[in-house]
Amino acid sequence: MATTGMLRRQSIDVPLLLTALLLSLFGLAMVFSAGQNDSPDPGLEMLWRRQFLLLGVAMSAGWVVSRASVRLIEWSAWPLYLLSIVLLLAVLVFGSGGGTARSMSGWLTVAGRRIGQPSELAKLATTLMLARVLAGQRDSIRSLLDLWKPLAVVGVPWVLVMLQPDLGTGMVFIGICFAMLFWAGVPWQLLLMLASPGISLILAFSTGVWGAWFLILVALVLWYRPYLAEGAVLIVVNLVMGVAAPILWDKLKPYQQRRFLVFIDPAYDAQGAGYNVIQSKVAIGSGGLFGKGFTLGTQKRGSFLPERQTDFIFAIVGEELGFLGVVVALALFLALFLRSTRVAARAADAFPSLVAFGLMSAWLVHVIVNIGMTLNLMPVTGIPLPFFSYGGSFLLVSWLAVAVLLRISSEGRGQPDAIGL
């Protein structure tokens, strides 16, 4: 009986759980502040209460998932992945946009009511499925052809997301893919060659810069010595990307072009596409060292700061809590990333290790892109800040990810930082 009791005991990774909880409470406070305006808006003022209820639902769902074994989580990869693909297909028909992403169809809408973002579930499902594929890889990956299975797993949902079109979420899928390939032991040279077409497309804005990059790529191919056909195709594809960049630019819709032009110079469309970024930078810069005080941000209270409860919520942190508040928020995110990486490093086998690192990488990309766009270091893509931005879908999936990490941690090797429950 004692032995059975010991087997049924579970442990909880207290630092991981506490960090996620502190981030959620910090975010809830910022959602509350977002509703405090000089011109009362009952809709915004009530958002924090709904976010509080959503947090309760998300944590409850996370508790249920944390009771499942890693083996059961691995088994669920296929059904969840297929379900996410079906939902992503459905959203192309029944989807709608909102916030800074009004032009895309990311929310599944039924009878005029938005009920969630399938792309959030797809991130979790793709991470699980990719981990299962990589963990089952018998031979080491040494060529681009060896990557066809993992690339197919990520490529299908990525294409469906880009058809919405949702560039920000598409960037998250790419980040998850490269991070998990790296953690699976794929050589950095191969990862760089895999990324080379995208790099060529981005650097094609300058003939000189692109030419220097192309010479570096040729040198890399000669050094790594892939299969002859593989190397030749890679060189040709990069040449095509360099030539096709201007053509692809002309194919972009006007609002998409404006977003990139505004990224280079927000003043290009100060009253249009650049307005959000300009107001965000003003809000963050005006916060100084200690900020203007909780709920007292003037840019926010005057309704100059757009989408302050979702995409630009980090600007409220900078304006009201200042540099010190920003440091605290970033420190909490860093703690989450480090703890998740520790869980990945101590996992019992390849699958849970890859899952843990993949979930961490998804959060990391979200934080980099979201905070980057509030500072005009990244294009505005309508991507939320984990545990902070208002919304149910991402908060639910984030806590499901926390639950999976907690379960992986409890089944990992050696747990000097965990306590028995």
Show me where the domains of the chain are located.
20-186+252-420, 187-251
How far apart are the C-alpha atoms of 195 and 179, rounded to whole Å?
12
Average pLDDT value for residue range 166-184: 94
Place of tokens 């990520």: 154
pLDDT of residue 206: 80
Q: Among 138-147, 169-178, 245-254, 318-327, which stretch is predicted with the lowest mean pLDDT?
A: 245-254
Look at residue 234 and give its three-state secondary structure. helix
Structure tokens at 390: 């208002």
> Please, what is the average pLDDT of the chain?
87
Sign of CA dihedral 275, 280, 286, 291: positive
Q: Percent of the chain scored above 90 by pLDDT?
A: 58
What is the residue type of 228? L
Q: State residue 164 phi and psi, 5-degree precision.
A: -65, -40
Q: What is the pLDDT of residues 17-44, one digit of tens each?
A: 999 999 999 999 999 999 888 877 777 8
How far apart are the C-alpha atoms of 175 and 167, rounded to whole Å?
12
Residue 3 has pLDDT above 60, yes or no: no
Residue 326 has pLDDT above 90, yes or no: yes
How far apart are the C-alpha atoms of 398 and 392, rounded to whole Å?
10
Closest-CA residue to 414 (of 11, 7, 4, 2) = 11
**Partners of 108 in the beta sheet?**
95, 116
Q: pLDDT class for 196, splitting at 50, 70, 90?
A: very high
Burial of 61 (0-12, 13-18, 19+ CB in 10 A): middle
Q: Percent of the chain scored above 70 by pLDDT?
A: 91
pLDDT of residue 2: 40
Closest-CA residue to 365 (of 195, 170, 100) = 170
**DSSP state, residue 46:** T
